[in-house]
């Protein structure tokens, strides 16, 4: 039976690559983000008709997230896979950041992931288990200069993943946190860096392969944290 996957936070780059990879592996994929037209086009372009479901959602709003999961269940039933991929930045240091900047970073990276995880985990615990993956960043391990809100929110999401792994692992739910330690080669990154060596970027299609490996891992050897970076001579 096809598995139902939810990707919370989809855009050109890794979100799209995850959708294509999961669909290629036989999943039905629900796409959550604010950009409705983009989601509709991507859903229609997945390998098999009906594999994709566009669910326009503001991931800052808990009510919209819960409604999105109700929509997914009404179409396909319980959720088996979740990727918490949405991200919002707050690119200011302590002295310049506003409370609103920090609140928004937390609302998406932290609270939004919490609500989505709660929705998905209820299905997984009541069913046959499942997988929840967090897309993290270097800032989840080392606070970034001039990005206090983003760093704090990414630290929070990493802590949430670790806590969830201990709570839900015995229930058959695999929790994994992926540290993206570098810049992903999105269309906008390629346009902004036309002369850069592509090997200095992370290929989103290859990252998606690593995410799928996490989904397929046997529970006797689950990964809690995976660190991905491009090949460089020194790091």
**Residue 115 has what pLDDT?**
98
Distance CA 218, CA 192 (A): 40
Read off the pLDDT of each residue in 198-202 and give the average, rounded to a whole number: 77
- β-bridge partners, 175: 132
Task: Let me know: does 174 contact 219? Beta carbons within 8 Å.
Answer: yes
Kindly state whether residue 192 falls inside one of the protein's structural domains: yes
Which of 126-135, 199-208, 223-232 has the highest mean predicted lDDT (pLDDT)? 126-135
pLDDT in tens, 149-174: 889 999 999 999 999 999 999 999 99
Could you give the 3-state DSSP secondary structure of residue 45? coil
Strands 4-8 and 81-84: parallel
Closest by alpha carbon to 204, among 17, 9, 8?
17
Kindly state whether residue 43 falls inside one of the protein's structural domains: yes
Longest alpha-carbon distance in the chain: 53
**Residue 146 has what pLDDT?**
78
**CATH number, domain at 195?**
3.40.50.720
pLDDT in tens, 10-29: 999 999 999 999 999 999 99
Distance CA 64, CA 23 (A): 24
Q: 138 is in which domain, residue-wise?
A: 4-228
Kindly state whether residue 235 falls inside one of the protein's structural domains: no
Read off the pLDDT of each residue in 215-227 and give the average, rounded to a whole number: 96
Strands 81-84 and 28-33: unpaired
pLDDT at 225 over 60: yes
Mean pLDDT (the chain, rounded): 91
pLDDT in tens, 28-50: 999 999 988 999 999 999 987 67
Q: How many domains does the chain have?
A: 1
**Residue 235 has what pLDDT?**
46
Closest by alpha carbon to 112, among 202, 34, 206, 215?
34
Kindly state whether residue 40 falls inside one of the protein's structural domains: yes
Kindly state whether residue 86 falls inside one of the protein's structural domains: yes
Distance CA 170, CA 172 (A): 5
Residue 132 Cα distances to 32, 94, 197, angstroms: 15, 32, 33
């Amino acid at each position: 039976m096809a598995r139902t996957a939810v990707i919370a936070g989809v855009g050109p780059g890794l979100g799209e690559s995850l959708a294509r990879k999961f669909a290629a592996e036989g999943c039905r994929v629900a796409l959550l983000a604010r950009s409705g037209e983009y989601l509709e086009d991507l859903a229609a372009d997945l390998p098999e008709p009906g594999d994709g479901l566009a669910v326009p959602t503001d991931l800052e709003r808990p009510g919209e997230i819960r409604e999105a999961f109700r929509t997914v269940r009404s179409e396909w039933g319980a959720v088996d896979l979740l990727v918490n991929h949405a991200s919002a930045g707050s690119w200011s240091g302590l002295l310049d950041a506003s409370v609103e900047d920090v609140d928004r970073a937390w609302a998406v990276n932290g609270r939004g992931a919490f609500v989505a995880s709660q929705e998905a985990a209820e299905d997984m615990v009541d069913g046959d288990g499942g997988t929840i993956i967090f897309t993290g960043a270097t800032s989840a391990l080392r606070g970034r200069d001039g990005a206090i809100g983003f760093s704090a929110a990414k630290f929070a999401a990493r802590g949430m993943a670790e806590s969830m792994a201990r709570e839900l692992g015995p229930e058959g739910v695999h929790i994994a946190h992926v540290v993206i330690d570098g810049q992903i080669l999105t269309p906008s990154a390629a346009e902004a860096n036309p002369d850069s060596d592509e090997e200095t970027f992370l290929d989103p299609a290859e990252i998606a392969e690593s995410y799928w490996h996490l989904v397929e891992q046997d529970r006797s050897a689950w990964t809690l944290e995976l660190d991905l970076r491009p090949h460089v001579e020194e790091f």
